Amino acid sequence: MAKDLRINSNAFDGTMRSPNRAMLRAVGFTDEDFKKPMVGIASTWSEVTPCNVHIHDLAERAKEGAREAGGAPMIFNTITVSDGISMGTEGMRYSLPSRDLIADSIETVVGAESLDALVAIGGCDKNMPGCMIAIANSEVPSVFVYGGTIRPGKLDGEDIDLVSVFEGVGQHNQGDIDDKQLNRIECHACPGAGSCGGMYTANTMASAIEAMGMSLPGNAAKPATSEEKAKECEEAGRAVYHLLEKDIYPKDIMTKEAFENAITVVMALGGSTNAILHLLSMAHAIDVDLTIDDFNRVQKKVPHIADLKPSGKYVMEDLYKAGGVQAVMKLLYENGYLNGDCLTVTGKTLAENLKDAPDLVEGQKVITSLDEPKRKDGPLIVLKGNLSPTGAVAKLSGVKVTHHEGPARVFNTEREATEAVLNDEIKEGDVLIIRYVGPKGGPGMPEMLSISSILVGKGLGESVALLTDGRFSGGTHGLVVGHITPEAQSGGPIALLKEGDIVTIDADKQEISVAVSDEELAKRRGSWEAPPLYSKGVLGKYAHNVSCASLGAVTDRFDER
């Protein structure tokens, strides 16, 4: 007799569950289906962003694979929002909260429908950590699939992408390009379906999840519209059934060592600062003891070897042609940077998967040699000091400046800061402060790609430091420091800064400080009052429940908010 692979759906057995089965018959279940494990296909399909516009077709392919393997699959949907579309607007406050809404909604369906296994397919930035948090909390065998990268846009023989448009706004403001050229960039930057093409947050998190072993080998680099991506979705449907057969759960794969592998790959590829926030949240969900200090420990020993946008030349499709993330992982593993004993969704260890993985294509230029890296250590650095006692995050890929000291130019909103930049009120040497935009204060910890790109477009990317308790897009580059904690809304030192205070960023010493005495800071704190917390709708709920960014900005950490 064949083994019963059902974990939860056996709850529908027996005469008492006849009404429950009647409902399922209406969506196509037969007598035979009730004997099979029920596999949920969580789709983030939506027409609101190119990152996700193609995902329904991918979900159908995953459903086919799960059914062929022996499961009873059902597709269900969750939300997505586009960071690129909401960037620079009030809508950006909803981006990070969407991560938790996605996670909660997927977990809710898995739990309420008594599903036995899960394939989750994500596209835009918050889809991936949202799906992974749901996978951790749902506690059923699961596979994650990345919807894939967009192909680069082409203009005058050059590759361009969405960040080219953001930086074009700064170039336009500076007078370097005219209306017509900005419109040409806008019209050619995004040629179709898929997530933003550089090593921005979506591609960063896809790479991290592949390194962690929660997606199939080769998942991260396959372009969104390729047949290889569609075939992979079928394979994912079959793979999750095999996880049921082998009794392998997410907790067996998402170990501390697997998270360290993910951090290693993020550092080597020069990934987004958001990786720190999201990996912390995923670790919290799976009960792995990962802290912000673990990132600095890994950062010190892993070289940055990828010449990828935003600070480099190439995009994810170029990496795909060069051998993909798997080839990079093989290089890292063979040189002692990855733990090969970690289990993966193939049922094999990372070392076993990499044994048959391709090497980097001979003559490729996307990945440097380990002997001649872009940086000898990782580009994501956690800074601490009297301006950020519990940690802030800097990304130094492509940045020559490691020490900056200058007067604080203090703004409580991104809009006011942006106006100052566009009006040429911010000068070389300044330290531009945008505060009260953290997880609680924003609320929602909005990204600052718009203003950081304008600074780059105006030629101020390395001569003006931009500091915030908010976040930066994976597309941001330049002298920027985000995630300053504690945030201003919680009374962190950033709330006590005054115009003209001298702020120092020292990446070599991993310090961020303000030249104000403890006594003066205490005096300022005595007269400081927290602004009222936002108290309406989803943002209100988020503001009252979210934790500090140094803990992953999670909404179910009740020992610290």
Phi/psi of residue 393, nearest 5 degrees: -125, 125
46 Cβ contact partners less than 8 Å away, ≥ 6 residues apart: 52, 53, 55, 79, 80
Tell me the pLDDT of the chain (561 aa) as tens digits. 678 999 999 999 999 999 999 999 999 999 999 999 999 999 999 999 999 999 999 999 999 999 999 999 999 999 999 988 998 899 999 999 999 999 999 999 999 999 999 999 999 999 999 999 999 999 999 999 999 999 989 999 888 888 889 889 889 998 999 999 999 999 999 999 999 999 999 999 999 999 999 999 999 999 999 999 999 999 999 999 999 999 999 999 999 999 999 999 999 999 999 999 999 999 999 999 999 999 999 999 999 999 999 889 999 999 999 999 999 999 999 999 999 999 999 999 999 999 989 999 999 999 999 999 999 999 999 999 999 999 999 988 777 888 999 999 999 999 999 999 999 999 999 999 999 999 999 999 999 888 988 898 899 988 999 999 999 887 777 789 999 999 999 999 999 999 999 999 999 999 999 999 999 999 999 999 999 999 999 999 999 999 999 999 999 988 754
Phi/psi of residue 458, nearest 5 degrees: -90, 5
Distance between CA 561 and CA 553 in Å, rounded?
Answer: 9
User: Token pair 């800074």 is at which residue?
Assistant: 383
pTM score, two decimals? 0.95
Give the residue numbers marked as catalytic: 473
Distance between CA 325 and CA 342 in Å, rounded?
Answer: 17
Which helix (H) or strand (E) element contains residue 502?
Answer: strand 502-506
What was the pLDDT predicted at 465?
A: 94
Distance between CA 25 and CA 156 in Å, rounded?
Answer: 56
Instruction: With CA atoms as reference, report the closest residue to 171 among 472, 434, 433, 422.
Output: 422
